[in-house]
Copies of this chain bind each other. A is one copy, B any other.
Amino acid sequence: MMTSTPGTTQANLTQLEYLALNASLNVADGHARQDLTETQKRIIDDLPTLFAKAAGEPLEELERNAQRTFLTTFGQHRFPTGPDRVLSCYASSVAMEILARSLVGSVATVGLVHPTFDNIPDILRGVGLGLAPVEEDLLVGGDLDAGIPPEVQALFVTTPNNPTGRVLAEDRLRLLAQVCQRRNIVLCLDTSFRGFDYRAQYDQYAILEAVGCRYVVIEDTGKLWPTLDLKVGLLVSSDNVGLPVPDIYSDILLGVSPFILALVERFAEDAAAGGLDELHEHIAGNRRVLRETLAGVPGVSFPDPDSRVSVERVGIPRHTGSQLFDGLSRQNVFVLPCRQFHWADPERGEDAVRVALARPRATVAAAAAEMRSILLG
């Protein structure tokens, strides 16, 4: 954990999230910090048994079961099963780092969805890749072939997107995959927020494999369940991807903890057995509390009315997002300004902040009340 941070507009989003970690009202980071449900509590009560199971079972089997249970719970039935096709990483950002390093050498320019969480452009640039912004609107509804710049050799799309919650629909993913296939672009998807939105749980692998494009998908167990950041990021590649993903993976890790794999399997089973509906209701309830609390505040809007992910943008035309961020942080309430999500054009993010919803109801209610009071004041 870090303790010093540059100024609000210079800092990256993760650095602003650090500030919130010890705050009384942290609605900044997108980690899952809601309370455990009753059935999840029973899994935690059983951790010693889970440890023994993880110690005793063959790792290969344990890992295969955890991956399959997680992926199929979210509709990904046709995920690839060949050697090195699904690599378990410590976190989705570690998967991202491995992907970025794997692109260097064969890819010069990555087309990247705009806006999106800033550690993605930072990692891609950090390893020396060039970036070309690709607007979310284009991906969701525009002319893909004309809109994706000609120099793009890999295209990175977060779906559902963070912070907007926009989902690439099935027909759009197919079109996108076809364009990538035709132009030999590596299609990279970050689906970390998929668990929150049934509309993103169609079988993406069935489409990608049918089209036959080169692809890499980053899956993440880390946004969903309050497991104190015991999580796994999955790095899934197509057979024809032509990138040294397994080599770079093996430079960085031998594998993740079998204990965490066993835990992921149990939480995914719980999700499939009703936990997912419960989670969706909890997030929807928190979203309602936030929207209702801020209703009627002059100038406040909700730019993503249809979003179901565990973060919500709040539009604040009268103020800049950075100013509201500062006012709230003086009250020990931490949100994220949206400026940094707009990595290619920060000014476009100045009129919104992002509020995390994967929190206890009371935390969201208190943060929303504080926002209302500052916005009205």
Would you give the 0/1 interface string for A84-95, flagging 1 where the beta carbon is closer than 8 Å to chain B? 100110110110
Check if A251 is an interface residue, CB within 8 A of chain B. yes
Least distance between A138 CB and chain B CB atoms (Å): 26
Count this chain's copies in the assembly. Answer: 2
Flag whether A249 is at the interface (Cβ < 8 A): yes
Given A55-B228, A230-B260, are A4 and B90 neighbors across the interface (CB < 8 Å)?
no
- B87/A101 in contact, CB under 8 A: no
Q: How many Å lie between the Cα of A256 and that of B247 in the bound state?
A: 25
Interface digits, A1-38 against B, CB 8 Å rule (1 contact, 0 not)? Answer: 11110000000101101100110000001010000000
> Counting chain B CB atoms within 10 Å of each CB, which of A31, A47, A250, A255 scores highest?
A250
B-side contacts of A90, CB under 8 Å: 90-91, 94
- Assess A60 versus B257: contact at CB under 8 Å? Given A250-B12, A251-B126, A252-B93: no
Q: CB-CB < 8 A to A93: which residues of B?
A: 251-253
Contact pick for A1, options B4, B14, B247, B255, CB 8 Å: B255
Q: Which residues of chain A in 85-144 are interfacial with respect to chain B, using CB atoms and an 8 Å cutoff?
A: 87-88, 90-91, 93-94, 97, 101, 119, 122-123, 126-128
The 24 sampled A-B contact pairs (Cβ below 8 Å) are: A1-B59, A1-B63, A1-B255, A2-B83, A2-B246, A12-B250, A14-B250, A15-B246, A17-B254, A21-B254, A21-B255, A22-B59, A46-B48, A54-B228, A90-B91, A94-B253, A97-B251, A126-B251, A127-B127, A128-B128, A227-B259, A228-B258, A229-B259, A230-B260
